[in-house]
Amino acid sequence: MINRLIDKIQKTGAPIVVGLDPMMKFVPGYIKQAAFKEYGETLEGAAEAIWQYNKGIVDAIYDLVPAVKPQVAMYEQFGIPGMIAFKKTVDYCKEKGLVVIGDIKRGDIGSTSEAYAVGHLGKVQVGSNSFYGFDEDFVTVNPYLGSDGITPFLKVCDEEKKGIIVLVKTSNPSSGEFQDQLVNGKPLYEIVGEKVAQWGAEHMPESGNYSYVGAVVGATYPEQGKVLRKIMPNTFILVPGYGAQGGKGADLVHFFNEDGLGAIINSSRGIIAAYQQEQYAKFGETGYADASRAAVLDMKTDIENALNSR
Protein backbone atom coordinates (compact mmCIF):
# COMPACT_ATOMS: atom_id res chain seq x y z
CA MET A 1 0.00 0.00 0.00
CA ILE A 2 2.93 2.37 0.63
CA ASN A 3 4.07 1.76 -2.96
CA ARG A 4 0.54 2.33 -4.23
CA LEU A 5 0.47 5.62 -2.31
CA ILE A 6 3.82 6.65 -3.82
CA ASP A 7 2.65 5.65 -7.28
CA LYS A 8 -0.48 7.77 -6.90
CA ILE A 9 1.52 10.72 -5.57
CA GLN A 10 3.73 10.54 -8.65
CA LYS A 11 0.79 10.23 -11.04
CA THR A 12 -1.19 13.12 -9.53
CA GLY A 13 1.91 15.21 -8.81
CA ALA A 14 0.26 16.08 -5.53
CA PRO A 15 1.76 14.92 -2.22
CA ILE A 16 -1.54 15.89 -0.64
CA VAL A 17 -4.04 14.13 1.57
CA VAL A 18 -7.46 15.66 2.08
CA GLY A 19 -8.67 15.41 5.67
CA LEU A 20 -12.32 14.40 5.65
CA ASP A 21 -13.11 15.85 9.09
CA PRO A 22 -16.71 16.95 8.64
CA MET A 23 -18.06 19.31 11.28
CA MET A 24 -21.72 20.26 11.13
CA LYS A 25 -20.76 23.92 10.79
CA PHE A 26 -18.94 23.13 7.54
CA VAL A 27 -21.89 21.35 5.93
CA PRO A 28 -23.85 23.63 3.57
CA GLY A 29 -27.34 24.49 4.79
CA TYR A 30 -29.12 22.87 1.85
CA ILE A 31 -27.44 19.52 2.55
CA LYS A 32 -28.38 19.67 6.23
CA GLN A 33 -31.95 20.62 5.38
CA ALA A 34 -32.35 17.71 2.97
CA ALA A 35 -30.88 15.26 5.51
CA PHE A 36 -33.02 16.57 8.38
CA LYS A 37 -36.12 16.47 6.16
CA GLU A 38 -35.53 12.77 5.60
CA TYR A 39 -34.26 11.72 9.05
CA GLY A 40 -35.17 14.59 11.37
CA GLU A 41 -32.70 16.45 13.57
CA THR A 42 -31.33 13.13 14.80
CA LEU A 43 -28.03 11.29 14.85
CA GLU A 44 -29.18 9.61 11.62
CA GLY A 45 -29.87 13.03 10.12
CA ALA A 46 -26.44 14.31 11.09
CA ALA A 47 -24.78 11.17 9.72
CA GLU A 48 -26.63 11.52 6.42
CA ALA A 49 -25.62 15.19 6.19
CA ILE A 50 -21.91 14.52 6.70
CA TRP A 51 -21.99 11.57 4.32
CA GLN A 52 -23.62 13.59 1.50
CA TYR A 53 -21.21 16.45 2.19
CA ASN A 54 -18.23 14.08 2.00
CA LYS A 55 -19.51 12.48 -1.17
CA GLY A 56 -19.69 15.86 -2.91
CA ILE A 57 -16.11 16.66 -1.94
CA VAL A 58 -14.76 13.24 -2.90
CA ASP A 59 -16.47 13.42 -6.32
CA ALA A 60 -14.81 16.81 -6.88
CA ILE A 61 -11.25 15.94 -5.82
CA TYR A 62 -10.66 12.22 -6.30
CA ASP A 63 -8.76 12.66 -9.57
CA LEU A 64 -6.44 15.31 -8.10
CA VAL A 65 -5.08 13.68 -4.95
CA PRO A 66 -3.73 10.28 -3.99
CA ALA A 67 -5.36 9.96 -0.60
CA VAL A 68 -7.93 11.05 1.94
CA LYS A 69 -7.77 10.96 5.72
CA PRO A 70 -11.12 10.68 7.47
CA GLN A 71 -10.84 11.66 11.14
CA VAL A 72 -12.93 9.04 12.94
CA ALA A 73 -13.72 11.30 15.93
CA MET A 74 -15.84 13.51 13.71
CA TYR A 75 -18.01 10.48 12.93
CA GLU A 76 -17.78 8.72 16.29
CA GLN A 77 -19.32 11.76 17.99
CA PHE A 78 -22.60 10.86 16.27
CA GLY A 79 -22.64 7.39 17.82
CA ILE A 80 -23.57 4.36 15.74
CA PRO A 81 -25.05 6.36 12.82
CA GLY A 82 -21.81 8.33 12.73
CA MET A 83 -19.72 5.16 12.56
CA ILE A 84 -21.90 3.96 9.68
CA ALA A 85 -21.16 7.25 7.87
CA PHE A 86 -17.45 6.68 8.55
CA LYS A 87 -17.60 3.23 7.00
CA LYS A 88 -19.58 4.50 3.99
CA THR A 89 -16.99 7.24 3.50
CA VAL A 90 -14.06 4.79 3.68
CA ASP A 91 -15.75 2.40 1.25
CA TYR A 92 -16.72 5.15 -1.19
CA CYS A 93 -13.21 6.64 -1.24
CA LYS A 94 -11.73 3.22 -1.97
CA GLU A 95 -14.24 2.70 -4.79
CA LYS A 96 -12.99 5.99 -6.23
CA GLY A 97 -9.44 4.64 -6.16
CA LEU A 98 -8.22 6.78 -3.25
CA VAL A 99 -5.82 5.53 -0.61
CA VAL A 100 -7.59 5.84 2.76
CA ILE A 101 -5.71 6.82 5.89
CA GLY A 102 -7.94 6.25 8.90
CA ASP A 103 -7.01 8.94 11.41
CA ILE A 104 -7.92 6.87 14.43
CA LYS A 105 -4.89 7.46 16.72
CA ARG A 106 -5.58 4.17 18.49
CA GLY A 107 -3.05 2.69 20.83
CA ASP A 108 -3.29 -0.18 23.29
CA ILE A 109 -1.39 -3.38 24.06
CA GLY A 110 -1.30 -7.05 23.17
CA SER A 111 -4.59 -8.60 22.20
CA THR A 112 -6.34 -5.22 22.43
CA SER A 113 -3.95 -3.62 19.99
CA GLU A 114 -4.39 -6.66 17.78
CA ALA A 115 -8.17 -6.13 17.85
CA TYR A 116 -7.74 -2.54 16.62
CA ALA A 117 -5.32 -3.72 13.93
CA VAL A 118 -7.68 -6.44 12.78
CA GLY A 119 -10.72 -4.16 12.90
CA HIS A 120 -9.20 -1.29 10.93
CA LEU A 121 -6.60 -2.89 8.64
CA GLY A 122 -7.18 -6.61 8.62
CA LYS A 123 -9.83 -9.28 8.85
CA VAL A 124 -11.51 -10.60 11.96
CA GLN A 125 -12.28 -14.28 12.28
CA VAL A 126 -15.87 -15.34 12.98
CA GLY A 127 -16.23 -19.10 13.04
CA SER A 128 -14.93 -20.28 9.66
CA ASN A 129 -15.39 -16.89 7.98
CA SER A 130 -13.38 -13.69 8.15
CA PHE A 131 -14.46 -10.10 7.60
CA TYR A 132 -13.02 -6.65 7.21
CA GLY A 133 -14.50 -4.37 9.88
CA PHE A 134 -13.55 -0.89 8.67
CA ASP A 135 -10.83 -1.70 6.13
CA GLU A 136 -8.71 1.44 5.85
CA ASP A 137 -5.33 1.28 4.03
CA PHE A 138 -3.32 3.05 6.72
CA VAL A 139 -4.17 4.06 10.28
CA THR A 140 -2.56 6.49 12.68
CA VAL A 141 -1.29 4.99 15.95
CA ASN A 142 -0.23 6.48 19.30
CA PRO A 143 3.18 5.27 20.57
CA TYR A 144 2.86 6.06 24.30
CA LEU A 145 2.54 2.38 25.27
CA GLY A 146 5.72 1.31 23.44
CA SER A 147 6.42 -1.68 21.19
CA ASP A 148 3.70 -3.80 22.82
CA GLY A 149 1.21 -1.45 21.21
CA ILE A 150 2.87 -1.34 17.80
CA THR A 151 3.91 -4.94 17.15
CA PRO A 152 0.36 -6.32 16.75
CA PHE A 153 -0.30 -3.69 14.07
CA LEU A 154 2.90 -4.60 12.24
CA LYS A 155 1.86 -8.23 12.00
CA VAL A 156 -1.36 -7.21 10.28
CA CYS A 157 0.53 -4.71 8.07
CA ASP A 158 2.78 -7.51 6.82
CA GLU A 159 -0.20 -9.76 6.10
CA GLU A 160 -2.27 -7.10 4.37
CA LYS A 161 0.60 -5.04 2.87
CA LYS A 162 -0.88 -2.04 4.64
CA GLY A 163 0.69 0.52 6.94
CA ILE A 164 0.59 2.46 10.18
CA ILE A 165 1.56 6.06 10.79
CA VAL A 166 2.91 6.67 14.28
CA LEU A 167 2.51 9.99 16.12
CA VAL A 168 6.02 11.38 16.59
CA LYS A 169 5.81 15.18 16.87
CA THR A 170 2.25 16.45 16.63
CA SER A 171 1.27 19.84 15.19
CA ASN A 172 -0.53 21.31 18.22
CA PRO A 173 0.86 24.11 20.45
CA SER A 174 1.13 21.92 23.58
CA SER A 175 2.71 18.94 21.80
CA GLY A 176 5.97 19.83 23.51
CA GLU A 177 4.66 19.22 27.03
CA PHE A 178 5.72 15.60 26.85
CA GLN A 179 7.13 15.12 23.32
CA ASP A 180 9.87 17.77 23.75
CA GLN A 181 11.09 16.61 27.16
CA LEU A 182 14.84 16.17 26.98
CA VAL A 183 16.27 12.73 27.66
CA ASN A 184 20.06 13.04 27.91
CA GLY A 185 19.79 16.18 25.82
CA LYS A 186 17.61 14.53 23.19
CA PRO A 187 13.91 15.33 22.91
CA LEU A 188 11.50 12.43 23.40
CA TYR A 189 10.11 12.78 19.86
CA GLU A 190 13.57 11.90 18.50
CA ILE A 191 13.61 8.75 20.61
CA VAL A 192 10.17 7.89 19.24
CA GLY A 193 11.46 8.71 15.73
CA GLU A 194 14.39 6.31 16.19
CA LYS A 195 11.95 3.57 17.18
CA VAL A 196 9.78 4.32 14.15
CA ALA A 197 12.86 3.97 11.93
CA GLN A 198 13.69 0.67 13.61
CA TRP A 199 10.15 -0.74 13.33
CA GLY A 200 10.16 0.38 9.70
CA ALA A 201 13.48 -1.28 8.89
CA GLU A 202 11.95 -4.57 10.03
CA HIS A 203 8.82 -4.03 7.93
CA MET A 204 9.76 -3.02 4.40
CA PRO A 205 7.76 -3.93 1.30
CA GLU A 206 9.39 -6.23 -1.26
CA SER A 207 10.51 -3.28 -3.35
CA GLY A 208 10.93 0.45 -2.80
CA ASN A 209 12.59 2.72 -0.27
CA TYR A 210 9.76 3.38 2.17
CA SER A 211 8.59 1.14 4.96
CA TYR A 212 5.14 0.17 6.22
CA VAL A 213 5.68 2.43 9.23
CA GLY A 214 5.07 6.14 8.67
CA ALA A 215 5.28 9.04 11.10
CA VAL A 216 3.17 12.08 11.93
CA VAL A 217 5.24 15.27 12.20
CA GLY A 218 3.42 18.62 12.28
CA ALA A 219 4.02 21.28 9.60
CA THR A 220 4.09 23.76 12.48
CA TYR A 221 7.48 22.38 13.58
CA PRO A 222 9.70 22.62 10.46
CA GLU A 223 13.02 22.55 12.35
CA GLN A 224 12.05 19.41 14.19
CA GLY A 225 10.88 18.03 10.83
CA LYS A 226 14.35 18.57 9.39
CA VAL A 227 15.94 16.52 12.18
CA LEU A 228 13.32 13.79 12.05
CA ARG A 229 13.66 13.52 8.26
CA LYS A 230 17.31 12.51 8.84
CA ILE A 231 16.54 10.14 11.71
CA MET A 232 13.87 8.35 9.67
CA PRO A 233 15.16 8.30 6.07
CA ASN A 234 12.89 5.45 4.93
CA THR A 235 9.78 6.70 6.69
CA PHE A 236 6.93 8.41 4.93
CA ILE A 237 5.92 11.46 6.94
CA LEU A 238 2.30 12.53 7.21
CA VAL A 239 2.37 16.27 7.82
CA PRO A 240 -0.69 17.88 9.42
CA GLY A 241 -0.97 21.54 10.34
CA TYR A 242 -0.79 23.05 6.86
CA GLY A 243 -3.23 25.91 6.30
CA ALA A 244 -5.70 26.35 9.14
CA GLN A 245 -3.10 25.46 11.79
CA GLY A 246 -0.57 27.93 10.36
CA GLY A 247 1.90 25.79 8.38
CA LYS A 248 3.03 27.31 5.04
CA GLY A 249 4.41 25.80 1.82
CA ALA A 250 7.92 26.96 2.60
CA ASP A 251 7.82 25.12 5.94
CA LEU A 252 7.16 21.86 4.17
CA VAL A 253 10.34 21.38 2.15
CA HIS A 254 12.24 19.90 5.06
CA PHE A 255 9.83 17.01 5.31
CA PHE A 256 10.66 15.73 1.82
CA ASN A 257 13.65 13.66 0.81
CA GLU A 258 15.94 14.52 -2.09
CA ASP A 259 13.90 12.17 -4.27
CA GLY A 260 10.96 14.57 -3.85
CA LEU A 261 9.12 11.86 -1.93
CA GLY A 262 8.84 10.90 1.70
CA ALA A 263 6.08 13.26 2.78
CA ILE A 264 2.40 13.79 2.27
CA ILE A 265 0.78 17.01 3.44
CA ASN A 266 -2.66 17.02 5.02
CA SER A 267 -5.18 19.79 4.79
CA SER A 268 -8.63 19.36 6.29
CA ARG A 269 -10.81 22.42 6.77
CA GLY A 270 -8.62 24.44 4.39
CA ILE A 271 -10.01 22.22 1.65
CA ILE A 272 -13.31 20.79 2.80
CA ALA A 273 -14.60 24.13 4.11
CA ALA A 274 -12.87 26.25 1.45
CA TYR A 275 -16.18 27.83 0.41
CA GLN A 276 -16.37 29.47 3.85
CA GLN A 277 -13.10 31.33 3.24
CA GLU A 278 -13.06 34.75 1.58
CA GLN A 279 -10.74 33.48 -1.12
CA TYR A 280 -13.27 30.94 -2.36
CA ALA A 281 -16.50 32.68 -1.34
CA LYS A 282 -17.47 33.20 -4.97
CA PHE A 283 -18.31 29.52 -5.27
CA GLY A 284 -21.12 29.95 -2.77
CA GLU A 285 -22.66 27.24 -0.64
CA THR A 286 -23.91 25.13 -3.53
CA GLY A 287 -20.46 25.30 -5.11
CA TYR A 288 -18.73 24.02 -1.98
CA ALA A 289 -17.26 21.00 -3.75
CA ASP A 290 -15.88 23.13 -6.60
CA ALA A 291 -14.37 25.42 -3.97
CA SER A 292 -12.66 22.36 -2.47
CA ARG A 293 -11.30 21.44 -5.89
CA ALA A 294 -9.94 24.96 -6.38
CA ALA A 295 -8.34 24.84 -2.93
CA VAL A 296 -6.63 21.53 -3.74
CA LEU A 297 -5.22 23.00 -6.96
CA ASP A 298 -3.93 26.07 -5.10
CA MET A 299 -2.35 23.89 -2.43
CA LYS A 300 -0.69 21.76 -5.10
CA THR A 301 0.82 24.90 -6.66
CA ASP A 302 1.97 26.18 -3.28
CA ILE A 303 3.80 22.94 -2.53
CA GLU A 304 5.26 22.71 -6.06
CA ASN A 305 6.62 26.24 -5.76
CA ALA A 306 8.11 25.52 -2.37
CA LEU A 307 9.79 22.33 -3.60
CA ASN A 308 11.07 23.99 -6.80
CA SER A 309 12.65 26.88 -4.92
CA ARG A 310 14.59 24.77 -2.46
Query: Do 164 and 154 form a contact (C-beta atoms < 8 A)?
Result: yes
- Provide, rounded to whole angstroms, the least separation between the CB of residue 202 and its own copies: 15
**What whole-number distance in Å separates Cα of residue 149 and Cα of residue 306?**
36
Q: Which of residues 281-300 bind its own copies (CB under 8 A)?
A: none
DSSP structure string for 229-282: HHH-TT--EEE--BSTTSB-HHHHGGGS-TTS-SEEEEESHHHHTGGGSGGGGG
- Tell me which H or E stretch contains 227: helix 222-231
Among 136-144, 228-236, 274-282, 288-296, the segment contacting its own copies (CB under 8 A):
136-144
Distance CA 39, CA 26 (A): 19
Catalytic choice (88, 105, 123, 161): 105
DSSP symbols for 15-32: -EEEEE---GGGS-HHHH
CB of 209 to its own copies, least distance (A): 26
What is residue 197's three-state secondary structure?
helix
User: Which of 94, 133, 298, 307 touches its own copies by CB under 8 A?
Assistant: 133
Strands 123-126 and 99-106: what pairing?
unpaired
Please report whether residue 198 would count as binding its own copies according to CB under 8 A: no
Q: Least Å distance between CB 70 and its own copies?
A: 12
Catalytic residue list contains 105:
yes
Tell me, what amino acid is at 241? Answer: G
Interaction between residue 131 and its own copies (CB under 8 A) = yes
DSSP 149-183: HHHHHHHHHHHHT-EEEEEEE-SSGGGHHHHT-EE
Q: Does 277 bind its own copies (CB under 8 A)?
A: no
* 231 binds its own copies, rule: CB under 8 A: no
* Binding of residue 229 to its own copies (CB under 8 A): no
Please choose, out of 176-184, 203-211, 219-227, 281-289, the segment that lies near its own copies by the rule CB under 8 A.
176-184
Name residues contacting its own copies, limited to 4-43 (CB under 8 A): 21, 23-24, 32, 36, 41-43
* Residues of span 137-166 touching its own copies by CB under 8 A: 142-149
Q: Give the closest residue to 264 by CA, choosing from 29, 105, 69, 77.
A: 69
Q: Does 56 bind its own copies (CB under 8 A)?
A: no
> 73-112: which residues touch its own copies (CB under 8 A)?
73-74, 76-80, 82-84, 87, 105-112
CB nearer its own copies, residue 24 or residue 201: 24
For the annotated catalytic residues, the residue numbers are 105
